[in-house]
Amino acid sequence: MGANIVVLNQGYDHSFQAREQLLIERLASFDELVVSFSGRLESCYSIELCRAAGVKIHAITLDNPTRSRSEVARARRYCQRYGIDHWVIKSDEIVFCDRLPNIEGLIDPVRRIGEYVQTRPEWTHLPLLVPAAVEERDDYLAQFGSLPANSIWFFAENGLMRRDYRYGFNKRQLGRWGKGSNGCLSNRFTNPRQLEQRYLRMVDQAEQMLADMGLDEAQVFFHTLCDCSTTLARVRLPEHQRAQAFDMQSDILSALKGSKFDLVTLDMAQKERHDLAI
CATH number at residue 220: 3.30.300
Q: Kindly state whether residue 272 falls inside one of the protein's structural domains.
A: no
pLDDT tens for each residue of 126-155: 999 999 999 999 989 988 899 999 999 999
Residues 143 and 197 reside in one and the same domain: no
Q: How many Å apart are CA 31 and CA 53, to the nearest integer?
A: 9
pLDDT exceeds cutoff 50 at 278: no
Q: Is residue 60 part of a domain?
A: yes
Which pLDDT does position 100 carry in this prediction? Answer: 57
Number of structural domains found in the chain: 2
pLDDT in tens, 151-206: 999 999 999 999 999 899 888 888 787 665 567 888 899 888 888 899 999 999 99
pLDDT tens digits, 11-20: 667 788 899 9
Residue 112 in domain: yes
User: In this predicted model, what pLDDT tens digit does every residue of 206-227 receive, in sequence order?
Assistant: 999 998 899 988 999 999 998 8
Q: 198 and 102 in one domain?
A: no
Average pLDDT value for residue range 242-261 = 91
Q: Are 94 and 65 in contact (CB under 8 A)?
A: yes
247 domain residue, yes or no:
yes
Are residue 57 and residue 132 in the same domain, yes or no? Answer: yes
Looking at the fold, whether 232 and 168 belong to one and the same domain comes out as: no
Last residue of a domain, one of 147, 177, 207: 177
Q: What is the per-residue pLDDT across 26-78, written as a single tens digit (0 to 9) for each?
A: 999 999 999 999 988 899 999 999 999 999 999 999 999 988 888 899 899 99
Return the DSSP state at 186. Answer: G
Same domain, yes or no: 90 and 228: no
pLDDT confidence bin for 274, thresholds 50/70/90: very low
Same domain, 114 and 56: yes
Q: Give me the pLDDT at residue 85, please.
A: 97
- Domain for residue 14, yes or no? yes
Domain stops at, among 153, 177, 201: 177
Distances from the Cα of 113 to the Cα of 100, 145, 157, angstroms: 16, 17, 20
Residue 270 pLDDT > 70, yes or no?
Answer: no
Between 211 and 94, where is the model more confident?
211
Strand ranges across the sheet with 263-267? 219-224, 231-236, 263-267
* Final residue belonging to a domain, choices 156, 177, 198: 177
| Domain interval for residue 170 | 10-177
What is the spatial distance between Cα 155 and Cα 35, in angstroms, rounded to a whole number?
12
